[in-house]
Amino acid sequence: MQDTTEAVARVFREEYGRLIASLARRFGDIDIAQEAAGEALVAALERWPKSGVPPNPGGWLTITAGNRAIDRIRREKQRDSKHQAAFMSSPMSSAQDDTPHEHTGPVQDDRLRLLFTCCHPALAPEGQIALTLRLLGGLTVAEIAQAFLVPETTMAQRITRAKKKIAATKVPYRVPETADLPERLGGVLTVLFLIFNEGYLATGDGDPVRAELTGEAIRLTRVLRQLLPEEPEVAGLLGLQLLTEARREARVRNGQLVPLGEQDRAGWDRALIAEGHDLVRECLAINRPGRYQILAAINAVHTDAPTASDTEWSQVVALYDQLTRLDPSPIVALNRAVAVAELDGPEVALTLVDRLPLTGYHAWHAARADMLCRLGRNAETKESYDAAIAATQNSAERAYLSRKRGELV
């Protein structure tokens, strides 16, 4: 009994994105899709413990939810024929179309349409992130609120507002045309990247690493890669996430962040690294470099080195040079300078870092502290560690920075 309930929850979570996406296409309305999916879950919880889990649980949920949605629309039609007329004219609507939810081809997959709708540039970035996790990830509002450390009511409002805007302004439910695809795909990748980053180095003072967010970002990026296997930036983002995730266990010890150079490399996940390296090789073969591919390649260099001192820093710097040409932002310049410190020494790197307008950014202070420390400039090192500690709320990072500061004589 308990096993079946868990199986239902697992199947529901796995199938949620696909279920919502196909219902939203069929009925032209995200709210109808969510309610019907909820009713199908209740039905499964009643039925499956008695009859057992059906051989195709996803199909069962889709058919049941579809029937519930039709029942509801019929009831509302009788009550309010005017509403129905408006509903039928919506661009998302094609209630007559009962195409089965088995996908006919990668680009036709409803989840891709839904992903582009959730990540539409007319929606606020935090709304895009929340909606993607809710509708495609199948996370509950409470789970998303907890992950981003905001009250549940705030998160619920964020999601409601985004959904209202989609309905009122008629955000289309389709994959953008080829001409618009690169730009719109960029928006989708940004959302997945932000979800991953928030999990990997949480901004708030809760858990320093949130594996549920990194895991969900990877799961959604895998779906995207399945749907757009030809896009090297999708492969690049997945590679970047896997090569980063591979180091997650080794990255925090006793509540303290462990920097890359001091990590126990035996604790890295070799399977994830192998898969990440395959993706980077695939990207190199396609030869259409982009931001995420280069970041993945940098992480491939790091994960390729048996020990920190074996790292090919000249390659890392060369990759950052390439990234700078695509994205000349101060953050990229800071990361490049950290690699330069290994290659050309802390003095050269410090000159580069001091030029950057990043005084509010904890990583800028932390990088300066490290370089000043190596130059033996202790007083300035302490000040920099203090500034770095003040600029971050992440508990593991604070613990690490405090230890480094404490080690100074």
What does the binding site for other proteins look like in residue numbers (CB under 8 A)?
91, 120, 122, 168-172, 176, 180
> Minimal distance in Å, beta carbon 125 to other proteins?
17
Find the helix or strand (DSSP H, E) in which 79 lies: helix 57-79
Cβ(145)–Cβ(154) below 8 Å: yes
> Please, which residue, 191 or 338, has the CB nearer to other proteins?
191
Give the shortest CB-202-to-other proteins separation in angstroms. 33
Which CB atom, from 49 or from 176, has the smaller least distance to other proteins? 176
CB of 109 to other proteins, least distance (A): 20
Question: What is the rounded CA–CA span in Å between residue 235 and residue 343?
Answer: 29
SS3 246: coil
Based on CB atoms, which residue is closest to other proteins, 169 or 359? Answer: 169
Question: Whole-number minimum distance, CB 89 to other proteins, in Å?
Answer: 8
Q: Give just the sign of the alpha carbon dihedral 35, 193, 260, 369.
A: negative
Quick check: helix, strand or coil at residue 328? Answer: coil
Gyration radius (Cα) of the chain, Å = 24
CB-based burial label for 336 (10 Å; 0-12, 13-18, 19+): buried
Nearest to 350 by CA among 332, 321, 370, 328: 370
Residue with Cβ nearer other proteins (49 or 172): 172
Which whole-number Å values give the CA distances from 251 to 85, 93, 208, 209, 277, in the listed order?
A: 57, 48, 10, 9, 20
Question: Nearest approach, Cβ of 270 to other proteins (angstroms)?
Answer: 44
> Between residues 179 and 285, which has the closer beta carbon with respect to other proteins?
179
Nearer to other proteins, 177 or 407 (CB): 177
Give the residue with the Cβ less far from other proteins, 164 or 325.
164
* Shortest spacing between CB 87 and other proteins, in angstroms: 14
* Whole-number Å distance between alpha carbons of 190 and 326: 15
Note whether 112 and 22 are within 8 A (CB): no
Helix (H, G, I), strand (E, B) or coil at 256: strand
User: How far is Cα 57 from Cα 59, in angstroms, rounded to an integer?
Assistant: 5
- State the number of CA atoms in the 13 A half-sphere of 374 facing the CB: 15
**How far is Cα 275 from Cα 102, in angstroms, rounded to an integer?**
28
Q: How near is the Cβ of 166 to other proteins at its closest, in Å?
A: 8
Q: Please say which residue, 28 or 290, places its beta carbon nearer to other proteins.
A: 28
Q: Which is nearer to other proteins, 91 or 182 (CB)?
A: 91
Neighbouring C-beta atoms of residue 364, cutoff 10 Å: 23
Least distance CB 173 / other proteins (angstroms): 9
CB of 82 to other proteins, least distance (A): 11
| Cα gap 160→275, rounded to integer Å | 38
Half-sphere exposure of 22 (CA within 13 A, CB side): 21
